[in-house]
Structure 1
Amino acid sequence: MKRIIAAIVLCLILSGISWADTASPPQLQIAGKSVGFNSETGFPYIGDNGRAMMPLRACLSAIGCQVDWNQTEQTASLNKGAVKIEVPVDQKYIYVNQKMIQTDCAAVLKNGRIYLPLRAVMEAFGYIVEWNNETKTVVAEQLTAANINGGTTGIFSRRQLQFEGFNGIEGDVTLPYVTLGEKGDCPYVYFGLDWEDDKGNAEGGFQFIEDAAHAGYNKWAVFMRQGNSWLNGSNEFLEQGSKHHLKLYADNISENRVELVIELDGKEVVRKLSDRADFNKACTKAVISMAMSKVFDGSNCSSQAIGAKLENVKVSTVKTKDYAGFDQYELYHKWNPLAGAHGMSFGTVDCTSDYVHYKEDGSVSIYKDNGQSTVNSI
């Protein structure tokens, strides 16, 4: 019997099959439908790092993506609509419309096929990707205005951190140039402090003035909102394209009193009593948005905000006095299959990828992509 077992092990080694390969492979489900794999497409497997390694061509073809291979560069090219992605083998990064995106796991070439975890590339194409450990299934859902939390209110790029006790956020903000296609649409650039129960959330930043009768028409002004309270920063109006330092933070006045403060270019311009004091449970976020006067259905916005930029963004927590880089913390994103009619995406997201565009200089623009834009899109 021992000789038989030894012979089997030797055969497996010589054939290049690992024990992980013989286990039940992970599955893929896109929009509720299972994607099939065979010996021609390659089978998914769990890598040595514990990640689900999926055959790239079969998975991306399932969402209508064109997949090409550059043998010389050892790079796969993915194309769908305005999104173009390059995936180099053995590198912990990909390029999304020429912008480098760091990944935590490199793509590998195995048996003539590329394998990689799907999250980074699928998110760039407007999907949210989750892992169901019970069924060993990668679950991907296409994001639309209807299944993104807040998505029907308009377009936005939202980067949100975990609910781990944040009490301040600051950064340099370049205000975008605005063209409004419909009366009542209004762009915003702001920071926020939120709670998981969605009560007492606070936002502070810049609002575009689209009212022609207003003294600051066609310029930007500072605002703070918490609950039903809406405060304006000052009578100072800011030019499109101008750059400013914005800081939103919680000021602990006493054990039972916390005030929210906005500073603009080092000067305090708004202060209010906070509706909440438990910032040990708060998250923080940075948002560039176009609020709409009507329900956003994913394709009905003609307004534009071009060239917004958030730089040197730093955050503070209740446990630290110093501010640290936003990118040092883990982003929050969550898919709740029980929320909404067919599930809902919360946290970090672009709503939607057809409208939110990124340039190599780090700027973000909002406009409907008709394939003829001059701004690089993600």
Structure 2
Amino acid sequence: MGASYNKSFTLNNIKKDLVAKSTTDESKEELVERIEYLENADYVYLSETGEVYSSKRGYLGKAEKQATLTENNAISSLAPMSQADPTPSEIHGGSTGAFERKQLNFSGFDGITGNVTLLSISNLGANEQPWVYYGFDSNTQGGIEGGYAYQTGTKKWLPFIRNANGFVYADPTYAKLDGNVVNNFKFYVRLQTDQTYYTAYLIDGGATVRFASTPFTNISSLSVKRATSIAKEGFNGSNISGKSMNQKWDSIQVSKSNSDYYFNWSDYSEYSSWTNNKWYGTIDCIASYIYRSGGFTSIYKQ
């Protein structure tokens, strides 16, 4: 038979009792720190029937014989320890190159604007190409991206939009050089009268430099992102030799489909999710290639 419940058996009461009995201030402080650590800990435990629970997060899923979990929703509540330093195979889009990606949740974003400093490029290897771009993603309707693509032949940055049909580029008169700052660089989607699908517009300093069709018929759950990358198909975490230095996003603001106003990116929480064994949303691919200093981001292999 188990012991009867005594309401004095709580961490708080035990803490008071032990502190009172401690002989020195130093021992009292140490006891308090240890007990507070236990109070704040997140305990994960497994029931006899295989359910996994957390003392802070509640029900996490069901353990199977293969030590996997049946998710209790579309996004797993249990994330691997690799989030701080995942491999390309653990990142959505990880095999396409090295990149820094920042992304907000699927809350109906329809515009993003700001000032961007283009990268300075050197030592590109075969099939390596730098990009700086915005994008909109839907969980059900695909996505679209727009920004600047580095042209390895002319060594200039050319505006582009990428949709389901491929890439479309702006006129070469809009090309930029390494290190140029593009002010009021904007990407947004709008539904024109009598149209079913939204159109995406890329704006450079107030001028529409490119537009293209999107796959979106509804934008109430669009996510918005911004990314800096050196693309290379088959990236394995070590086979990019190029350097892209000192890219910067400044004064980034976003708008939603239910508002006519733009608000600071920092007003919203960034989105990151471990789903189907990959990291989605905000992530570095990979940590050993991404370097930040003074608000600038560089991509290279140390």
TM-score (norm. length: structure 1): 0.61
Q: Which amino acid aligns with 1:140?
A: M
Q: What's the counterpart of residue 367 of structure 1?
A: 300
Q: What's the counterpart of residue 146 of structure 2?
A: 204
Q: 2:109 aligns with which of 166, 185, 196?
A: 166
Is the alpha carbon distance of 1:203 and 1:25 closer, same or farther for their aligned partners in structure 2, counting shifts above 3 Å? closer
* Cα distance in 2 between the residues matched to 1:300 and 1:20: 43
Is the alpha carbon distance of 1:8 and 1:242 closer, same or farther for their aligned partners in structure 2, counting shifts above 3 Å? closer
- Check the 8 A contact 2:163/2:212 in 1, yes or no: no
Q: Which amino acid aligns with 2:252?
A: V
Is the alpha carbon distance of 1:25 and 1:261 closer, same or farther for their aligned partners in structure 2, counting shifts above 3 Å? closer
Is the alpha carbon distance of 1:287 and 1:22 closer, same or farther for their aligned partners in structure 2, counting shifts above 3 Å? closer
The gaps in structure 1 that reach 5 residues or longer are 29-44, 53-129, 133-137, 212-216, 370-378
* Cα distance in 2 between the residues matched to 1:255 and 1:155: 41
SS class of match (2:260):
coil
Q: Which amino acid aligns with 2:118?
A: L
* Cα distance in 2 between the residues matched to 1:21 and 1:232: 58
SS class of match (1:254):
coil
* Cα distance in 2 between the residues matched to 1:302 and 1:23: 45
- Check the 8 A contact 1:204/1:262 in 2, yes or no: yes
Please say if 1:225 is aligned against 2:131.
no
* Cα distance in 1 between the residues matched to 2:299 and 2:113: 22
Please say if 1:152 is aligned against 2:65.
no
Q: Which amino acid aligns with 2:150?
A: F
Q: Which amino acid aligns with 1:346?
A: Y
- Check the 8 A contact 1:131/1:139 in 2, yes or no: no
- Check the 8 A contact 2:116/2:248 in 1, yes or no: yes
Please say if 1:348 is aligned against 2:282.
yes
TM-score (norm. length: structure 2): 0.76
Q: What's the counterpart of residue 171 of structure 2?
A: 234
- Bigger RCO (CA 8 Å, 6+ sep): 2
Is the alpha carbon distance of 1:280 and 1:179 closer, same or farther for their aligned partners in structure 2, counting shifts above 3 Å? same
Please say if 1:14 is aligned against 2:11.
no
Shift of 1:19: 9.7
Shift of 1:13: 2.6
Q: What's the counterpart of residue 319 of structure 1?
A: 258
Q: What's the counterpart of residue 40 of structure 1?
A: none
- Check the 8 A contact 2:121/2:178 in 1, yes or no: yes
Shift of 1:282: 0.7
Is the alpha carbon distance of 1:318 and 1:26 closer, same or farther for their aligned partners in structure 2, counting shifts above 3 Å? same
Is the alpha carbon distance of 1:25 and 1:193 closer, same or farther for their aligned partners in structure 2, counting shifts above 3 Å? closer
Question: 1:291-306 counterparts in 2 under 5 A?
Answer: 291-292=231-232, 294-306=233-245
* Cα distance in 1 between the residues matched to 2:89 and 2:239: 13
Quote the RMSD (CA, aligned, Å).
2.8
- Check the 8 A contact 1:290/1:305 in 2, yes or no: yes
Deviation >6 Å, runs of 4+: 17-20
- Check the 8 A contact 2:143/2:214 in 1, yes or no: no
Shift of 1:146: 1.1
Is the alpha carbon distance of 1:7 and 1:260 closer, same or farther for their aligned partners in structure 2, counting shifts above 3 Å? closer
Q: Which amino acid aligns with 2:178?
A: Q
Q: What's the counterpart of residue 90 of structure 1?
A: none
Q: Which amino acid aligns with 2:243?
A: Q
Is the alpha carbon distance of 1:156 and 1:12 closer, same or farther for their aligned partners in structure 2, counting shifts above 3 Å? same
SS class of match (1:146):
helix
- Check the 8 A contact 2:88/2:285 in 1, yes or no: yes
Q: What's the counterpart of residue 186 of structure 1?
A: 129
- Check the 8 A contact 1:256/1:277 in 2, yes or no: no
Q: 2:118 aligns with which of 175, 188, 191?
A: 175
Q: What's the counterpart of residue 289 of structure 1?
A: 229
SS class of match (2:258):
coil
- Check the 8 A contact 2:129/2:230 in 1, yes or no: yes
SS class of match (1:281):
coil
Q: 1:263 aligns with which of 188, 200, 203?
A: 203
Q: What's the counterpart of residue 279 of structure 1?
A: 219
Tell me which protein shows more helix as a share of its residues.
2
Quick one: percent identity of the two aligned structures? 25
User: Number of residues paired by the alignment?
Assistant: 252
* Cα distance in 2 between the residues matched to 1:158 and 1:260: 20
- Check the 8 A contact 1:184/1:210 in 2, yes or no: no
Shift of 1:161: 0.5
* Cα distance in 2 between the residues matched to 1:269 and 1:275: 20
Q: What's the counterpart of residue 331 of structure 1?
A: 270
